[in-house]
Amino acid sequence: MHELSIAQSIIELAEEKARERHALEIEELELEIGRLAGVELQTLDFALESAVKGTMLRNARIVRRYIEGKGRCSDCGTEFVTNELFAPCPSCGSWLIDIVKGKELRVKSIVIK
Protein backbone atom coordinates (compact mmCIF):
# COMPACT_ATOMS: atom_id res chain seq x y z
CA MET A 1 0.00 0.00 0.00
CA HIS A 2 2.20 2.81 -1.26
CA GLU A 3 -0.68 5.26 -0.83
CA LEU A 4 0.13 5.51 2.90
CA SER A 5 3.71 6.56 2.17
CA ILE A 6 2.40 9.06 -0.39
CA ALA A 7 -0.01 10.48 2.20
CA GLN A 8 2.79 10.75 4.76
CA SER A 9 5.03 12.52 2.23
CA ILE A 10 2.26 15.01 1.42
CA ILE A 11 1.77 15.73 5.13
CA GLU A 12 5.51 16.12 5.75
CA LEU A 13 5.82 18.56 2.84
CA ALA A 14 2.81 20.61 3.97
CA GLU A 15 4.05 20.77 7.58
CA GLU A 16 7.55 21.75 6.47
CA LYS A 17 6.19 24.64 4.39
CA ALA A 18 3.87 25.74 7.22
CA ARG A 19 6.70 25.70 9.77
CA GLU A 20 8.86 27.82 7.46
CA ARG A 21 6.19 30.50 7.86
CA HIS A 22 5.80 29.94 11.62
CA ALA A 23 2.24 28.66 11.25
CA LEU A 24 0.46 26.81 14.02
CA GLU A 25 -2.03 24.95 11.90
CA ILE A 26 -2.90 24.13 8.32
CA GLU A 27 -6.48 25.04 7.45
CA GLU A 28 -6.64 23.75 3.90
CA LEU A 29 -4.60 21.57 1.60
CA GLU A 30 -5.35 21.46 -2.13
CA LEU A 31 -4.12 18.48 -4.12
CA GLU A 32 -4.08 17.81 -7.86
CA ILE A 33 -4.35 14.12 -8.58
CA GLY A 34 -4.21 12.72 -12.08
CA ARG A 35 -6.46 9.79 -12.86
CA LEU A 36 -3.40 8.09 -14.39
CA ALA A 37 -1.07 8.84 -11.44
CA GLY A 38 -0.83 5.19 -10.47
CA VAL A 39 -2.55 5.53 -7.12
CA GLU A 40 -5.77 4.00 -5.89
CA LEU A 41 -7.83 7.13 -5.19
CA GLN A 42 -10.04 5.66 -2.46
CA THR A 43 -7.02 4.15 -0.70
CA LEU A 44 -5.19 7.50 -0.84
CA ASP A 45 -8.25 9.23 0.65
CA PHE A 46 -8.35 6.70 3.50
CA ALA A 47 -4.58 7.01 4.06
CA LEU A 48 -4.80 10.80 4.22
CA GLU A 49 -7.68 10.68 6.70
CA SER A 50 -5.68 8.35 8.93
CA ALA A 51 -2.31 10.07 8.57
CA VAL A 52 -3.45 13.61 9.45
CA LYS A 53 -4.31 12.65 13.03
CA GLY A 54 -1.96 14.39 15.44
CA THR A 55 -0.47 16.64 12.74
CA MET A 56 -0.87 20.28 11.74
CA LEU A 57 -3.48 19.04 9.26
CA ARG A 58 -5.73 17.35 11.84
CA ASN A 59 -8.54 19.88 11.23
CA ALA A 60 -7.63 20.80 7.67
CA ARG A 61 -10.00 20.66 4.77
CA ILE A 62 -8.41 18.56 2.05
CA VAL A 63 -9.51 19.60 -1.43
CA ARG A 64 -8.88 17.11 -4.22
CA ARG A 65 -8.86 18.21 -7.84
CA TYR A 66 -8.87 15.28 -10.21
CA ILE A 67 -7.19 15.63 -13.58
CA GLU A 68 -8.48 13.52 -16.45
CA GLY A 69 -6.00 11.57 -18.53
CA LYS A 70 -5.10 12.81 -21.98
CA GLY A 71 -3.07 11.01 -24.62
CA ARG A 72 -1.49 12.10 -27.90
CA CYS A 73 -0.88 9.66 -30.73
CA SER A 74 2.71 9.72 -31.97
CA ASP A 75 1.62 8.52 -35.41
CA CYS A 76 -1.35 10.72 -36.32
CA GLY A 77 -1.21 13.46 -33.65
CA THR A 78 -4.74 12.89 -32.36
CA GLU A 79 -5.28 14.00 -28.76
CA PHE A 80 -7.89 12.12 -26.77
CA VAL A 81 -9.20 11.58 -23.25
CA THR A 82 -8.16 8.29 -21.72
CA ASN A 83 -8.50 6.58 -18.35
CA GLU A 84 -5.89 3.97 -19.22
CA LEU A 85 -2.11 4.24 -19.46
CA PHE A 86 -2.04 1.74 -22.31
CA ALA A 87 -4.77 2.35 -24.85
CA PRO A 88 -4.72 2.55 -28.64
CA CYS A 89 -5.39 5.74 -30.54
CA PRO A 90 -9.13 5.97 -31.25
CA SER A 91 -8.41 7.46 -34.70
CA CYS A 92 -5.73 5.22 -36.21
CA GLY A 93 -5.36 2.33 -33.73
CA SER A 94 -1.66 2.98 -33.07
CA TRP A 95 -0.25 1.99 -29.68
CA LEU A 96 2.43 4.72 -29.81
CA ILE A 97 0.74 7.03 -27.32
CA ASP A 98 2.28 9.74 -25.14
CA ILE A 99 0.40 10.55 -21.95
CA VAL A 100 0.36 14.35 -21.83
CA LYS A 101 -1.94 14.88 -18.86
CA GLY A 102 -3.29 12.93 -15.92
CA LYS A 103 -0.15 11.54 -14.26
CA GLU A 104 0.16 14.49 -11.87
CA LEU A 105 0.20 14.14 -8.09
CA ARG A 106 1.08 17.42 -6.41
CA VAL A 107 0.27 19.83 -3.62
CA LYS A 108 -1.34 22.79 -5.36
CA SER A 109 -1.79 25.09 -2.34
CA ILE A 110 -1.65 25.24 1.45
CA VAL A 111 -3.68 27.62 3.61
CA ILE A 112 -2.05 28.19 7.01
CA LYS A 113 -3.09 29.80 10.27
pLDDT digits (tens, 9 = 90+) for 7-21: 999 999 999 999 999
Mean pLDDT of 37-41: 92
3 state SS of 4: helix
Residue at 32: amino acid letter: E
pTM, to two decimals: 0.85
φ/ψ region of 86 (left if φ > 0, alpha if ψ in -120 to 50, else beta) reads beta
Judged against a pLDDT cut of 70, whether residue 1 lies above it is answered with: no
| Residue 57: per-residue pLDDT | 97
Quickly list H helices, 21-107: 41-51
Let me know the angle formed at the C-alpha of 38 by 84 and 78, rounded to the nearest 5 degrees.
Answer: 35
The conformation of residue 37, written as its DSSP 8-state character, comes to S
